[in-house]
Amino acid sequence: MKRISLACYASLLLSPFAQPELAVAEDQLSDFTRSHFQVSRPPINNQAQPDRAVHADLSTFADEAWILPVRSSLLSPGQITSRALNMPGLQPFFLVGEDSQSLAWLHKRATELQKMGAAGLAVEVANTEALARIRAAAPDITILPVNGNDIATRLQIEHYPVLITATSLEQ
């Protein structure tokens, strides 16, 4: 067996203490990153603060055409039964599709959704034109194309449009 010198042992034991202090990335945000990556912490009392809603426009980072079409085989347009949820800290979000029911629902509730800071997930979108129609129904809200099957399974829902908050699931 090879012998390791005392100096090697000492350097291995002391090396963690010789490293410089780590810098927190949040402290070093440039003007560019600050505008795109604002951190929103939930309030301690878990009550919504509508005047502090932060909307991130993630669509500016890449062309979304590569992800389309989006199909969620476990979801379809239709009526849902409202029910209570107990998910403290959950930020409000909603599921919609390109169908006429979703577009009408989104247009009708756009102001309310924006005030609560809800983000949108388009779970049925054929192409960029359909995504543009969905976004036009609520122009000041971030809506991203996403497969909704996992959400459907976890929340035991079959239909959209639907609004999911920390306390309820409703249409």
Q: To 5 degrees, how large is the angle CA 125–CA 131–CA 134?
A: 105
- 50: pLDDT confidence band, cut at 50, 70 and 90? low
Q: Quick check: bond before 88 cis, omega within 30?
A: no
Pairing of strands 83-84, 168-170: antiparallel
Domains and CATH numbers, the chain: 34-170 (3.40.30)
pTM above 0.85, yes or no: no
CA distance 96 to 73: 14
In this predicted structure, what is the pLDDT of residue 148? 97
Does 11 score more than 90 pLDDT? Answer: no
Q: What average pLDDT score do residues 3-30 get?
A: 51
pLDDT of residue 35 exceeding 90, the answer is no
- Residue 124 in 3-state DSSP? strand
Average pLDDT of the chain to the nearest whole number: 80
Percent of the chain with pLDDT over 90: 61
Closest CA to 118 of 95, 91, 145, 98: 91
